[in-house]
Structure formats: structure tokens, C-alpha cells
Amino acid sequence: MFRHREDLPSPILALLLFLVLILASLFFALPARGAGDAEIGRLRFTTYCASCHGAQAKGDGTLAEVLRVPPPDLTTLAERHDGVFPEAYVRRTIDGREEMLAHGRREMPVWGIGLRDLGRDSDQEAEIQARINDLVVFLRSIQTEH
């Protein structure tokens, strides 16, 4: 029917471009999903956390040896908290925006701010929390049982 892009009527070409843009924005936006998604969390972990915590979250990332405080093995969070995954603690640690002066200097980057979409002025709190949810669900999914 249409052999070349220039053969397409302009309204059809415009509609196709519009659909491509919509699909791309949906793919990259990762809107709030409430409960979180472990697979998306794994991808986020690889992007934001693996350089320090390691690909398997064992605390052996490529930057671990140059840090003043070694990153912990994140697969043993539940084990270190009497067999219960410390979700609220993990969430606060990832977010990092709530400074606790009594705990001393913060060694880990503040990802609550880092998970924003740069260039957007709108309120992004729901998206930030969804991204943190994904990481929390992923970390819960990799806990070892002893």
C-alpha cells in the first residue's frame, strides 16, 4: 500500500509519530504502581546501587574498596533484623532525605533526590516513592534464609 514514508498522508504520519511518542513516554515514565515491581527494582539497583553494593548485592561492588565505610551485604538484611525484612529502615536509607544528625555523616548518596526526573518542575513525589518501592520489593526478594 504505502512503500515509502513520503507516500503516507500527513495525518497518518502525524498519528504514527504521536503513537510512537506516547509509547516511548509510557515505557520510560514507569508511573506509580503502589506495591512495587521486583524486576524494575532489580534494574534500578543495577543502575544506582551495584557499583557499591555489587551485582549480587553482597557489598562487593567495584567501588566498595575505595569507600570509607564498606557497603553491607543487602541479601542479609532480614537475617540481621531477627528474620524480619526491615522495610521502613530500608525505605528511609534509600530515600536519604530525612537527615538523622544523631547517626553521624551520611555515607550513602541521597537517592530520594537522585530519583527525580531532571528538567521537570512538577511535583514528582509519587514517582520517587514508586521507584523506591521497586527497590524495596527487589531487596525483599533477594533475602537469604538461614
Q: Chain-wide mean pLDDT for the chain?
A: 76
How far apart CA 15 and CA 48 sit, in angstroms, is 36
Listed by start position, the domains of the chain span 1-30, 32-141
Inter-residue contact 27 to 43 (CB < 8 Å)? no
Half-sphere exposure of 21 (CA within 13 A, CB side): 6
* All cell numbers assigned to 144: 537469604
- Quick one: which H or E segment has residue 14? helix 10-29
Inter-residue contact 132 to 112 (CB < 8 Å)? yes
Inter-residue contact 79 to 146 (CB < 8 Å)? yes
What's the pLDDT at 62?
A: 94
* pLDDT tens profile 92-119: 888 876 555 544 566 666 666 667 666 6
CATH topology classification for 32-141: Cytochrome Bc1 Complex; Chain D, domain 2 (1.10.760)
Q: What is the pTM of this model?
A: 0.67
How far apart CA 137 and CA 87 sit, in angstroms, is 9
The pLDDT confidence band at residue 31, using thresholds 50, 70 and 90, is very low
